[in-house]
Structure 1
Amino acid sequence: MKKISYLIFSLSLFSLSIASAQTKKTTSPQPKAFPAEVARPKLVVGLVVDQMRWDYLYRYYNRYTNGGFKRLVNEGFSVENTLIPYTPTYTACGHTCIYTGSVPALHGIIGNDWYDAETKKNLYCTEDTSVTTVGSTPSSEGQMSPKNMLTSTITDELRLSTNFKGKVIGISLKDRGSILPAGHTANAAYWYQGTTGNWITSSYYMKAVPTWIADYNKLKLANKFYAKNWETLYPINTYVNSTADEKAYEGKTSTFPHQLTQNIDKNFDAIRSTPYGNTITLDLAKLAILSEDLGQDNNTDFLAVSCSSTDYIGHGYGPNSIEVEDTYLRLDKDVEEFLNYLDKKVGKGNYTIFLTADHGAAHVPGFMTENKIPAGVVSDRDIATKLNAFLNEKFKVNNIVLRSMNNQIIFDHDKTDNGSVSFDVIKAASIEYLKKLDGFANVVDISRIAQSTLPEIQKTMITNGYNARRSGDLYYILNPNWFNGSSTGTTHGNWNPYDAHIPLVFMGWGIKQGASNKTHYMTDISATLAALLHIQMPNGCVGEPITEITNK
Structure 2
Amino acid sequence: MTMLRNPVLSLRALALASCLLANGALAATQAPSSAPAAAQPKLVVVLVVDGLPQEQVVRYRDQFGQGGFRRLLDQGAWFSNAHQAHGITVTAIGHAAVLSGAYPYQHGVIGNNWIDPVSKTSVYCTEDRAHTYLGEETKPSDGTSPARLRVSTLGDELRYASGQRSKVVAVSGKDRGAILLAGKTGTAYMYMDKSGNFASSSFYMQQHPEWVQRFQAAKPQDRYYGKSWRPLLDDAAYAGDAADDATPSTAAARNRFPFSYYSESGNIDAGYYGRLKVGPFLDELTLDFARAAVEGENLGKNPAGVPDILGVSLSSHDYVNHAFGPESKMSHDHLQRLDRMLAQFFGYLDQRVGLDNVLVVLTADHGFPNVPEFAQSQHMDAQRLDGEKLMAALNQHLDERFKAGKLVAAWSLPNIHLDYAQIEKSGLKRDEVEQAAARFLLKQNGVAEVFTRGQMESSAVGGTRLATLMRRAWHRELSGDLMTVTKPYWYFGSGTSGTSHGSPYAYDTNVPLMVMGKRWIKPGAYGQYAEVVDIAPTLAHLLRIRPPAAAEGRVLTETLR
TM norm structure 1: 0.92
The alpha carbon displacement at 1:445 in A equals: 1.2
Q: Distance in 2 between matches of 1:95 and 1:428?
A: 33
The alpha carbon displacement at 1:389 in A equals: 1.2
Q: Does 1:496 align with 2:497?
A: no
The alpha carbon displacement at 1:118 in A equals: 2.2
Q: Which amino acid aligns with 1:501?
A: N
The alpha carbon displacement at 1:279 in A equals: 0.8
Select the residue among 477, 480, 486 that pairs with 1:472. Answer: 480
Check conservation: 1:134, 1:142, Cα contact below 8 A: no
Q: Which amino acid aligns with 1:262?
A: S
Check conservation: 2:120, 2:409, Cα contact below 8 A: no
The alpha carbon displacement at 1:143 in A equals: 5.5
Check conservation: 2:394, 2:441, Cα contact below 8 A: yes
The alpha carbon displacement at 1:64 in A equals: 0.7
The alpha carbon displacement at 1:453 in A equals: 6.6
Q: Does 1:403 align with 2:410?
A: yes
Distance 1:166-1:429 versus aligned 2 partners, 3 A rule: same
Partner of 1:531: 541
Q: Which amino acid aligns with 1:348?
A: L
Partner of 2:230: 231
Q: Which amino acid aligns with 1:523?
A: V
The alpha carbon displacement at 1:55 in A equals: 1.4
Check conservation: 1:376, 1:483, Cα contact below 8 A: yes
Q: What percent of counterpart residues are identical?
A: 33
Q: Which amino acid aligns with 2:544?
A: H
Q: Does 1:427 align with 2:428?
A: no
Partner of 1:244: 243
Q: What do residues 191-214 of structure 1 show as CA deviations (whole Å, max 9, x unaligned)?
A: 011111121111110001122222
Other structure's SS at 1:328 match: helix
Distance 1:475-1:141 versus aligned 2 partners, 3 A rule: closer
Q: Which amino acid aligns with 1:500?
A: T
Partner of 2:259: 258
The alpha carbon displacement at 1:33 in A equals: 7.8
Q: What is the total number of aligned residue pairs between the two structures? A: 531
Flag structure 1 segments of 5+ consecutive residues without an equivalent: 1-17
Q: Does 1:344 align with 2:344?
A: no
Other structure's SS at 1:523 match: helix
Partner of 1:160: 160
RMSD: 2.1
Partner of 1:510: 520
The alpha carbon displacement at 1:139 in A equals: 4.0
The alpha carbon displacement at 1:270 in A equals: 1.2
Other structure's SS at 1:262 match: coil
Check conservation: 1:167, 1:302, Cα contact below 8 A: yes
Partner of 2:465: 457
Q: Distance in 1 between matches of 2:32 and 2:545?
A: 25
Aligned runs of 1:92-241 on 2, under 5 Å? 92-140=92-140, 144-186=144-186, 188-241=187-240
Check conservation: 1:111, 1:406, Cα contact below 8 A: no
Other structure's SS at 2:289 match: helix
Other structure's SS at 1:448 match: helix
Q: Which amino acid aligns with 1:197?
A: G
Q: Which amino acid aligns with 2:177?
A: G
Q: What do residues 227-250 of structure 1 show as CA deviations (whole Å, max 9, x unaligned)?
A: 221111123343123111233422
Q: What do residues 427-468 of structure 1 show as CA deviations (whole Å, max 9, x unaligned)?
A: 111111111111111212143146657552112111111111
Q: Does 1:296 align with 2:305?
A: no
Select the residue among 546, 549, 552 that pairs with 2:556. Answer: 546
Other structure's SS at 2:344 match: helix
Partner of 1:40: 40
Aligned runs of 1:320-469 on 2, under 5 Å? 320-449=327-456, 454=462, 456-469=464-477
Q: Which amino acid aligns with 2:202?
A: S
Q: Which amino acid aligns with 1:546?
A: L
Q: Distance in 2 between matches of 1:113 and 1:362?
A: 21
Q: Which amino acid aligns with 2:268?
A: D
Other structure's SS at 2:397 match: helix
Q: Does 1:82 align with 2:82?
A: yes
Check conservation: 2:152, 2:550, Cα contact below 8 A: yes
Distance 1:91-1:29 versus aligned 2 partners, 3 A rule: farther
Q: Distance in 1 between matches of 2:105 and 2:454?
A: 13
The alpha carbon displacement at 1:56 in A equals: 1.7
Check conservation: 1:50, 1:359, Cα contact below 8 A: yes
Q: Which amino acid aligns with 1:447?
A: G
Deviates more, 1:476-485 or 1:158-167: 476-485
Deviates more, 1:524-533 or 1:221-230: 221-230
Partner of 2:5: none
Q: Distance in 2 between matches of 1:463 and 1:140?
A: 31
Q: Distance in 2 between matches of 1:381 and 1:33?
A: 63
Q: Distance in 2 between matches of 1:219 and 1:399?
A: 55
Q: Distance in 2 between matches of 1:127 and 1:65?
A: 39
Q: Distance in 1 between matches of 2:484 and 2:331?
A: 30
Partner of 2:9: none
Q: Distance in 2 between matches of 1:194 and 1:261?
A: 14
The alpha carbon displacement at 1:343 in A equals: 0.2
Distance 1:393-1:158 versus aligned 2 partners, 3 A rule: same
The alpha carbon displacement at 1:141 in A equals: 6.8
TM norm structure 2: 0.90
Q: Distance in 1 between matches of 2:87 and 2:449?
A: 14
Q: Which amino acid aligns with 2:352?
A: K
Q: Distance in 2 between matches of 1:481 and 1:78?
A: 27
Deviates more, 1:273-282 or 1:245-254: 245-254
The alpha carbon displacement at 1:222 in A equals: 3.0
Check conservation: 2:45, 2:310, Cα contact below 8 A: yes
Distance 1:142-1:243 versus aligned 2 partners, 3 A rule: closer
Partner of 2:7: none
The alpha carbon displacement at 1:418 in A equals: 2.1
Q: What do residues 321-371 of structure 1 show as CA deviations (whole Å, max 9, x unaligned)?
A: 011001001000100000000000001201101000001011111101112
Q: Distance in 2 between matches of 1:362 and 1:390?
A: 31
Q: Which amino acid aligns with 1:247?
A: A
The alpha carbon displacement at 1:262 in A equals: 3.3
Flag structure 2 segments of 5+ consecutive residues without an equivalent: 1-19
Q: Which amino acid aligns with 1:281?
A: T
The alpha carbon displacement at 1:223 in A equals: 2.7
Other structure's SS at 2:309 match: strand
Check conservation: 1:249, 1:367, Cα contact below 8 A: no
